[in-house]
């Protein structure tokens, strides 16, 4: 249940935030939110992370659909169980789906979050993907850390 809740919540919040940016900002416009730490800058990315592969976004939509299908497949097989993996895969699926929706409808992804003066530009789906990846690492380290701690 946690997987579905997080997936749906990520997609809804991500799409709502992107809609808000597209509706209330001009392309290229910047709004300082927290001086030196966070700003909103409206950008449309037709490529992948770090603005690479510009113009090939439609292919990343296909990859996202296959990725989400893979998550559902392995969940159905019972291989992605436990609260950490439930949350991790929920964030990953929700983030991938949020960006795939943009790619299918708009042929590009709306980015708007800039952290710090040298930060790249991303969106809430990207943050969810990062959170999911971090939780996968936590899951992978959980057992080895337990073994190390029990040997002491």
Domain count, the chain: 1
Q: Shortest CA distance to 122 belongs to which of 50, 35, 34?
A: 50
Query: Helix 2-24 and helix 83-106: axis angle, to 10°?
Result: 30
pTM for the model stands at 0.86
pLDDT tens for residues 118-151?
Answer: 768 999 999 999 999 999 999 999 888 887 778 7
- Domain that residue 104 falls in: 2-151
Rounded to an integer, what distance in angstroms lies between the CA atom of residue 23 and that of residue 98? 17
Active-site residues, by number, are 111, 126
């Amino acid at each position: 249940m946690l997987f579905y809740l997080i997936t749906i919540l990520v997609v809804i919040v991500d799409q709502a935030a992107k809609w808000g940016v597209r509706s209330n900002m001009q392309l290229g416009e910047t709004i300082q939110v927290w001086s030196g730490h966070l700003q909103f800058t409206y950008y449309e990315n037709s490529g992948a992370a770090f603005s690479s592969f510009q113009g090939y976004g439609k292919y990343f939509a296909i990859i996202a659909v296959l990725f989400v299908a893979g998550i559902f497949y392995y969940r159905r097989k019972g291989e992605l169980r436990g609260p950490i993996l439930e949350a991790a895969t929920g964030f990953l699926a929700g983030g991938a789906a949020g960006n795939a929706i943009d790619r299918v409808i708009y042929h590009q992804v709306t980015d708007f979050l800039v952290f710090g003066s040298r930060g790249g530009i991303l969106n809430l789906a990207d943050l969810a993907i990062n959170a999911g990846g971090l939780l996968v690492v936590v899951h992978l380290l959980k057992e080895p850390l337990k073994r190390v701690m029990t040997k002491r």
